[in-house]
Every structure is written in structure tokens, then in C-alpha cells.
Amino acid sequence: MNKNIALITGVTGQDGSYLSEFLLAKGYEVHGIIRRSSVDYRERIAHLEGQPNFHLHYADMTDSMSLVKLVGKVQPTEIYNLAAQSHVQVSFDAPEFTADVDATGVLRVLEAVRTNHLEKTCRIYQASTSELYGKVEEVPQNEKTPFHPYSPYAVAKLYGFWIIKEYREAYDMFCCSGILFNHESERRGETFVTRKITLAAARIAAGLQDCLYLGNLDSLRDWGYAKDYVECMWLILQHETPEDFVIATGVQHSVREFTDLAFRYAGIKLEFKGEGLHETGVCVDGSAELIGKTLVRVSEDFYRPTDVVNLWGDPTKAKAELGWNPQSTSFEDLVRIMVTHDMAKVKADKVAGEVRTNLAEYLEKGIVK
């Protein structure tokens, strides 16, 4: 039997780390792309390094030659193209870089496969996004809903979606998109709204932060658990025919609801008052020091020039054709998992901080040399 060899771009990201674990457990040989950075930040995959079937290689989505050489060397049977400048707000500040990685990068991967004559043996998964629906034209959104991208990130991802479809039709390649709605986890980047909230709730409960500043609290999202979603990436590539799938839970909540629940799990009950920039979340129950304090405020800094405010996915096709269960982790469980993780992390960081402070003091006093 031929060996399954996966190449993952974006292996150091939230999804890349869960997908690596998933594929290794299935017996795949997993290869991941990393890029050089002045700080060696590979926290999410540190536990996988050293495993015999897990290999890392330097390459970059903006460097075609590195991709061509790597695809030739690894000879993958499946490529999961997850690498992206994935922060929507940042894409307004760095639109050209975002286009280079998120749009042209997809083309580079496809051409690397063709250059190495692997188009008949290598299946390709493209990380497409619910951001393609943007200024939504239909609620909820399914595979037939028209796209209306509403940020430089989404416009770049639209190119990625269409170039994948084009190569499928032009060259008969097995390449498809998962149109994934927001998925979160305890490994989520700290500037995405969910993780920003769960970390802040944990820090505020521990007395390490005074207030959480957010942008649009009315924004609605269909939030799922990243660990559940990576299974779909694999299922999409195992499907008989190359097709695109919406992956979502089918349940929608606002940023305000997420905040309210996260603080509850951290032992703080909030009451929201006021509107727009003047809205606040005040502590009405919890520890004595916090009661009556304003713990959540709105800041214009987190408003976007154009914001996507009504994402709600319809996972009917994925359920029927992939046999995937969109509700395996509920919204409540997702928030609880993230808050529980961050409360433990804050506690551990606090202890480590105290140790560092004590050590600094000892060093200063000459007790430890």
C-alpha cells in the first residue's frame, strides 16, 4: 500500500497544529513548512517535534522556488494549504503582503504541484473562509450563497478560492475548498476576539488586568471548535469527487454573548449598559473587589473600515456527504474549554512571574550568582 504523505503549509498555526496531530494519529507521514523568524516561536507544535513521522522544512508562501523544491522533495499525496496572513483587521494595514500570501501563494502551491508532475497523484485542500460571504447576501450561508468579500483579506481569499476551482476544471486536479466558518480553541491567536476575551476574563479574575477593550459587540459569528474542524479538512480530501464544502455549526452568537459567557465561567457576572462606543460591561456579581467596576469598554481602535457582522453557516452538505457532526462541541463547551485553559495559564504565568521576580531580587542582592 502506498504511504500517505501530507504536506501542511501553516503547520505552526492553530489549525496546522491540530491537523498534524490528527494526521499523525492516522499513520500519515507529515511534513510542515516553517519560516525563519528571529524568535523561535513554535509553541503549538513543540510537542510533535522529534516524532519519527513529523518533519519540518524551511519555505515561504512568497517564495515559489522554495515551494517547488519542497514539493519535489516530499512528493506529497495530500497538501493542506493553511498558510495565510489570517487576521482580517491586519489585512487593512498590510494588504499587499496579505494578497501575496493568501492569493498568489495559493497559485504558487498549485504550480509547484504541476511543475513536479504530481497533479494526478496529489490532492489539495485550500483553507477558504466564511469571510468570502462578507457583506452577506443571504442568511444563513451555504455553498450556493453569492460571495461579497469585505476586506483585503477576503478579497485575497476569493482569488484563492477561484484559482483552486480553475485548476480543478482546467487540469482535472483534485483540489477543493473548505469554506470554514470561525473556529476557535485554546490555541487560537491572542488577538482574535474569542481568545482576547477568554484571556482577559482570566486575567481580570486573577487581578492582573483592569479592563477589556473591544470593538463591535454586535458582530455575529458561527463559532466552532478547531479540533472538530480539522477532521473535515481530511474528510474533504477523502471524498470521491473534488467538491467545496461549508463547514460550520449552524448556530450563531454575538461578541457580547461570548464575552458575557466567558466572564461567567471566570466567576464574574456582567451587566451591559449603554450603546455603541459608550457601551460598558459592569461587574454585578463576583469577587468583592470587582463588584461595581467597569470591566468591558468599547474602543474605536478595534472597529474595522468595513466589518463583516452576520456570519451564520449552513453545514447541511457536510453533514450529509461527509458524515460530519457539526454539533460535537457546543458553543457553551467551547467557551468553557477556552476559559478553563486560560485561567490555568494565567495562574501558571503568575507563579512563573513570581519565581522570576524573586530570582531577580536574589540576583540583585547577590544571593544567587
Name, in order, each residue with C-beta under 8 angstroms of 86's C-beta and a sequence gap of 6 or more.
13, 153, 189
The CA-to-CA distance between both ends of the chain, in Å, stands at 59
Q: How many CB atoms neighbour CB 236 within 10 A?
A: 24
- Gap between the Cα atoms of 66 and 74, Å rounded: 12
Residue 120 main-chain phi, psi, to 5 deg: -95, -10
- Residue 203 contacts which entry, ligand GDD, ligand NAP, none (Cβ below 5-8 A, type-dependent): none
Q: Is there binding between residue 101 and ligand NAP (CB under 6 A)?
A: yes
Q: Which is nearer to ligand NAP, 253 or 264 (CB)?
A: 253
Identify the active-site residue in 150, 153, 225, 229.
Answer: 153
- Gap between the Cα atoms of 363 and 39, Å rounded: 26
Question: Treating both helix axes as pointing N-terminal to C-terminal, what angle do 14-25 and 226-238 enclose, rounded to 10 degrees?
Answer: 60
- Gap between the Cα atoms of 4 and 65, Å rounded: 24
CA–CA distance from 67 to each of 32, 34, 58, 104, 229 (Å)? 12, 11, 9, 12, 26
With CB under 6 A as the contact rule, the residue among 7, 45, 71, 84 that binds ligand NAP is: 84
Could you check whether the bond before residue 305 is cis, i.e. omega within 30 degrees of 0?
no
Q: Which is nearer to ligand NAP, 281 or 313 (CB)?
A: 313
Q: H or E element: which one contains 54? A: strand 54-58
Q: Is there binding between residue 194 and ligand NAP (CB under 6 A)?
A: no
Piece in contact with ligand GDD (CB under 6 A), picked from 65-73, 208-216, 269-277, 350-358: 208-216
Q: Is 153 a catalytic residue?
A: yes
Q: Is there binding between residue 304 and ligand GDD (CB under 6 A)?
A: yes
Q: Is there binding between residue 182 and ligand GDD (CB under 6 A)?
A: yes
Question: Treating both helix axes as pointing N-terminal to C-terminal, what angle do 331-365 and 193-205 enclose, rounded to 10 degrees?
Answer: 60
Q: In whole angstroms, how close is the CB of 98 to ligand NAP at the nearest point? A: 9
- Residue 33 contacts which entry, ligand NAP, ligand GDD, none (Cβ below 5-8 A, type-dependent): ligand NAP
Positions 11 through 70 that interact with ligand NAP (CB under 6 A): 11-16, 33, 35, 37, 60-62
| Contact mark string toward ligand GDD, 102..131, x via CB under 6 A | ---------------------------xxx
Name, in order, each residue with C-beta under 8 angstroms of 290's C-beta and a sequence gap of 6 or more.
204, 268, 283
- Gap between the Cα atoms of 173 and 42, Å rounded: 32
With CB under 6 A as the contact rule, the residue among 30, 83, 255, 296 that binds ligand GDD is: 255
Q: How many residues of this chain interact with ligand GDD, rule: CB under 6 A?
A: 24
Q: Which is nearer to ligand GDD, 71 or 84 (CB)?
A: 84
Q: Which is nearer to ligand GDD, 98 or 116 (CB)?
A: 98
Q: How many CB atoms neighbour CB 219 within 10 A?
A: 19
Identify the active-site residue in 129, 145, 194, 259.
Answer: 129
Is the CB of residue 270 less than 8 Å from the CB of residue 284? yes
Residue ranges that bind ligand GDD, judged by CB under 6 A: 86, 88-89, 129-131, 181-182, 191-193, 196, 214-216, 219, 221, 255, 302, 304, 307-309, 311
Residue ranges that bind ligand NAP, judged by CB under 6 A: 9-16, 33, 35, 37, 60-62, 82-86, 101, 127, 129, 180, 182-183, 189
